[in-house]
Structure formats: structure tokens, C-alpha cells
Structure 1
């Protein structure tokens, strides 16, 4: 998928020159990022090999594995309102399991880390840099050294109430901003943090964007806000698995990056010209969603290296990606990508390489964004 693989680069490598849908209860459609609830929750010692197929221009499948971490486990269709709303889909069948917290995997990462302390991201857009309305040729992809630096996010305890969830996602936004801001600034692109809303129920969300369909979460470009309703991210199913909610949030944050860079504006115009439900319009939507998947995978890969996640949590998130494809949704709207591609762009491109240029879905053949 995407450009042919080369030697695996160091995670958090210096910036030049140094430097998600949900699982149905019943199933909801894609909302930027999909997820599936586990069947049980305790930690255990069973080792399960997780094999994912790497579709990179016909390359042979590779075994995806993780280094054991010592961190304790705390355990839509793209809708449009005034402006496009980019959602993360829900998972498919609640009766199937993605993985349990007892699953483990082993691996070695032949990488070196460069952990750089950064100031908290600014909250207002810079005066100089401006978005560039382009997709494949966007400046975001111009430097092949650009990847997310390895920062271990400092997050408050998770609790399934609006106040605690808002604090959790606000902290996650701050951390993601520290990781993305230097990259955008290096390419003379603007940066500011998005707003965050975590209402108890999706019906309580005050948004200028419509959010109809099966979704776990969504990004509204009209007011630059990421919506994480507690009912649609399925807190009753995932319980204390905060890392599932975080991976969904990272996908929606990817849509925010698309908006900042100008990718989203260009895609929205092209899709409007083609017809939102036309074959071309739906492919443009899939390229947008799979790119956000890849961005979210970059975050998980870098954060895994920084030991924000345990190995069990990483395995669970990896397996989860493949359950959120369009075929798992009760809809004929093929706008997010099939489960194989939904998982591959996250796991085999974003998480594996942590290089933003590899997430350029706009240059991928149609067969890799189906």
C-alpha cells in the first residue's frame, strides 16, 4: 500500500533538519474511526501472533509484532451539514471479538528514538502560514523525514462521564498538537488546536454539522470541533479501555490536520464537483478517511515506542482496525474503505513507518483505497 517499503526509519526521527467507526450496539456506521468491543477484559499471559497482510504493491505479507511495554493497563457515513463532517465508523458485529486484554505479541523494533520536549501547542492560528488547497501535492508530504516525535502523553484518568472525558480528550489534543505542530510549521502550514466536545449522548451535541448514520465520533470542519459522544464511542461496551477511545480521537485529529493543511478543502471541492455519492465522490471520501487512518497509526506507533501503550493494548488496537470497514456497516455507502484497507493503512503504513509522506493516499492506485 502506498510507496514501496524501505528500511524502517527511526520513530520520532527529527524533523528537518533535526528533529476512527465504532462497534454497533447495534452497529453504527463509520465515523472517522471504527472499533469493536472486547468480549472480556482481564490481563493474561497468552501469546498470540498477530499477522496482518501488507498490501504494498504486491509485496509479501509481514508479521506485525510489538515490543513488550511495562505500562499498566487502566483498563457514517461521512455526513455533511454546513460543511463536511468527517466521522469515525462503529464496529460491526458485537458478538465477534477483536482481541482480549490477555493477548500479547512479541517483536523487536530496530529503531532509535529522539524524544524532544516541546511547548504546548498554540491555540490560535499563526498569522503567516496558510493552508494549501491541494491533495497529492500538499506541502505536508514534501519532506520524507517528517514523522511524529515520540512523546508520551500525560492523560488524566478515564471515566465515562462528560466532564472526565472532556478533560481526557483535551489532554490528548494537547499531546497530539505537540507532535503535529512542528511538522506543519516546518512546511509553512498553519497550526491551531481543535475544539473538543464529549457529550453524554450524540443527540446532545451542539454542532453545525449533521452527524446522521453509524458513527463513533466525527470532526466538524464548520466549527473545527472533534465530537466524541460517550454513547457512540460505546463506553458501555469498551468500559475502561481508554486506549480505544484514544485511537478514535487520533483519527478525528487526523481530519483536523487535513483541514489545517488544505487537503480537506481541496477534497471537498472535488467531491462536490463529482457528486458526493458518485463513484469518484465516494473514492475521494475513502482516500480522505484512509489517510486519517494512516495519521492515527503514526500516533499509535510513535506512542507505543514512547511506552504510552502496553503491548496488549497495541495488539488490541491493531486487531480493532480490521473490524471497522465498510462491509461491516449496515449501509451501502462505501465511503470509508473495506476492513482490509482500513486496517492496513493504519497498521502497515502509519504505525509501521511513522512517515507522513507514506500516508499520501492521493497517489495510491484505486485498488488500494477500495
Structure 2
């Protein structure tokens, strides 16, 4: 008898499951998987693409390439800030009087062109009852359950200005702060430059601010396109400082810098260092209570001349603070060669005379040379007491 075939072995466990030996579509699926290409990696930007990067950054920086998650978080925080603290625009009404409450701080005003160097001026912006097209509002303050007595007598504004502890806190230590290597050819580069500079400024000023008895807070950084709305309102080519209880915001323009840099590289590099140092100087004024007290005395000025003098005292001090920092970082930056020549020219040729159409609210060329010169040479905030100086030195 012929041998009969043995029983056929049964299927093994998993035979008919998807992907098992009994899955008739497994081969097809494998083929499909092999045929589907992996997503191509994002190509690196070529030199030509870098030159075209600015239009991609138009509007919010969240749409631009290369922004870190930390910076996206900062932008989200700024958006949330506007939602809470910035109402619909109030129509301009020239007949309404400024309020005494300072909320917007300083605008590094019309940029005065000085022999190829752009000089950042300063204009005070305060909360108003309709004066600004897009003002910030003041957060509401809840009263406690019962009245409380002040723990100490409030300091008079004049004493806050002329006898501030910041003047006795000592020199800024020599700062190991090399000039950031980012050149202002794109918005991202400008952001990176100012971000690195703020880190240096924080390290330089924090010991002095805390020694003087004030709470130190680092300001937020915002880089904007012209006409873009930020926490400081609608921006138009000027660097701004907005004071608030969260530490303040430094908002800086960027769009003119690529052309300026192409025309005069050394002058633009010095201008960027001075501009951010100046606006940061206003931040120091805010931390020390100087900004608010100066605004209060400005509101009490008996006439326009006295009001402008108060503006000049504040602006000259902020520029002196800027020079203190630049002097402290002179060796490490370094400020030498053509950069030193441009810095010296800026100190000695910046002032209200360069734009006769504007009010004399920033200080004369002579006054700038005095205050910036001694701040740069001595690196001591105590040399920047413009509020205790005679009127002849703040002209």
C-alpha cells in the first residue's frame, strides 16, 4: 500500500493576524511601505535664501523660520499681555490733559542723523485720558479688607531723583561682554544681537541695582516691523521702553539696519550698542523709581521751559547710564580702532541742535559730551546725577 501523506500541520499562532504569514495583503503592504519615500528634511537656507529671509518674517515673528521655542513663548506672552492690558484704541483728543500716572515709560524718539551715526533721542510717554492713539491701561488694584498705615514716610520725588541710592552703589564692574557676532542683515540676526546684549546688560547692572536696594528684573525684548502693534502700542521706527510691574519691555526696530550697515558698518555697530544700552538705561531708571518721579515733577512744571528741562535731565541720565555700561565693557567688547572713533564722535556730536524742528528735550551737544564722556570714563552711575546738577549742565 502506498504511503499516505501525513496530516498537514496547523497554522501557527498569529498566522491570520495582520502582518502574519496568512495575511494575504502583507506583501502588498510591505511593498507599499517600501515604495513610500520618507519626508525630505527641511533644506538648509542657501545664501540667496538668506538674502530673501526678511519678507518671510513680516508680521509676527512666529511665522518666521529659525525662531526658538523660548522666543515663541515670549511672543505668546506679549500677545497675552496685550489682551489683558491693552484696550481698543481711544480716539485722539488734543484737549484732554495728560494723567500723572506713568505707564508707557520712554520712547527713544526721532533718530537724529549725526555724520553717518544714528542717535536715539528720548521722549516721555505717559498714560493719558485719550492723548495716545493706543495707550496702555493701568492694571486695577484691589484694596485690602481694611485700611493700613504706611510703614514709612514716602520719599519726595525730588529726593528720589537727586538722592537716589543708585548713585552710591558703586561702579559697574569690568564686564566680560564681547560684541555679539550677529550682523544686522536679517531680523533674526538683529534679535540675536539685542538678546545677547541684554544678557550682558543684566549681568552688569544687576549687582548695582540690588546693592542700591531695588528689586532687579530683566526687561522683555521685542523686535518689530514698522507699523506693528506691540505692548508699547503701534511702532514706528523708534526704540521704546514700556514700564510695567512685570519688568518692562524693550522694543527695538530693525528694518533700517541692513541698509545702514551696508553704508557704514562701524557706525551702525556702535549705534546698535548705544541704542540698546540707552533704552536699558531707561529700564534702570524705572527699577530705581527715577522714571516715575521724573514724570511726576514734569507734570508739576510751572511752564514749558521747566517741563523741557525735566525731559533733558532724564534723557541725559539715560545716555550717561548707557556710556557707563559701554565704558565697563570697553576692553572685552572691545571699543577700539574705528569703533572707538565712531563712539567718540557719537558722544561729542549728538544733541538737540541736529534737528532744529524738534523741541529741546534731549540735551545739547555740549551736555551730551559732558554726561556721556564722564560716564564712559568713570563707569560709575554716581557720575550720572543729572537731577542734582545746575541747569547750565543740562541745557
Calculate the TM-score normalised by the size of structure 1.
Answer: 0.61
Listed as ranges, the gaps of 5+ residues in structure 1 are 1-79, 100-130
Contact 1:221 1:259 in 2 (8 A): yes
Listed as ranges, the gaps of 5+ residues in structure 2 are 1-100, 119-153
Structure richer in helix, relative to its length: 2
1:290 aligns with 2:316: yes
In the alignment, the residues of structure 1 paired with residue 234 and residue 290 of structure 2 have an alpha-carbon distance, to the nearest angstrom, of: 21
Pair 1:329–1:176, CA change in 2 (3 A): same
In the alignment, the residues of structure 2 paired with residue 235 and residue 216 of structure 1 have an alpha-carbon distance, to the nearest angstrom, of: 16
Contact 1:197 1:225 in 2 (8 A): yes
Provide the residue aligned with 1:18 in structure 2. none
Provide the residue aligned with 1:238 in structure 2. 261
In the alignment, the residues of structure 1 paired with residue 117 and residue 106 of structure 2 have an alpha-carbon distance, to the nearest angstrom, of: 27
Contact 1:158 1:168 in 2 (8 A): yes
Shift of 1:191: 0.6
Match of 2:108 among 57, 80, 87: 87
What secondary structure does 1:228 align onto?
A: strand
Match of 2:219 among 194, 198, 207: 194
Match of 1:142 among 168, 180, 186: 168
Match of 1:317 among 324, 343, 354: 343
Contact 1:81 1:209 in 2 (8 A): no
Who wins on radius of gyration, i.e. which is larger?
2
Shift of 1:206: 1.4
In the alignment, the residues of structure 2 paired with residue 209 and residue 262 of structure 1 have an alpha-carbon distance, to the nearest angstrom, of: 23
1:203 aligns with 2:227: yes
Shift of 1:154: 6.1
CA shift digits 1:18-73 (9 cap, x unpaired): xxxxxxxxxxxxxxxxxxxxxxxxxxxxxxxxxxxxxxxxxxxxxxxxxxxxxxxx
CA shift digits 1:170-212 (9 cap, x unpaired): 110011000000011112111111111222x331241335767
Contact 1:91 1:328 in 2 (8 A): yes
What secondary structure does 2:300 align onto?
A: helix
Pair 1:255–1:341, CA change in 2 (3 A): same
Shift of 1:343: 2.8
- Count of matched residue pairs: 251
In the alignment, the residues of structure 2 paired with residue 287 and residue 306 of structure 1 have an alpha-carbon distance, to the nearest angstrom, of: 30
Question: RCO higher in 1 or 2 (8 Å CA, sep ≥ 6)?
Answer: 1
Shift of 1:167: 1.6
1:328 aligns with 2:354: yes
Calculate the TM-score normalised by the size of structure 2.
Answer: 0.58
User: Equivalences for 1:1-370 in 2 at 5 Å?
Assistant: 82-92=103-113, 96-97=115-116, 134-143=160-169, 145-153=170-178, 155-199=180-224, 201-209=225-233, 216-222=238-244, 224-231=248-255, 234-239=257-262, 240=265, 241-274=268-301, 278-347=304-373, 349-370=374-395
Contact 1:90 1:324 in 2 (8 A): no
CA RMSD of aligned residues (A): 2.8
In the alignment, the residues of structure 1 paired with residue 304 and residue 235 of structure 2 have an alpha-carbon distance, to the nearest angstrom, of: 20
In the alignment, the residues of structure 2 paired with residue 187 and residue 296 of structure 1 have an alpha-carbon distance, to the nearest angstrom, of: 18
What secondary structure does 1:305 align onto?
A: coil
Pair 1:262–1:155, CA change in 2 (3 A): same
Shift of 1:331: 2.5
Pair 1:307–1:163, CA change in 2 (3 A): closer
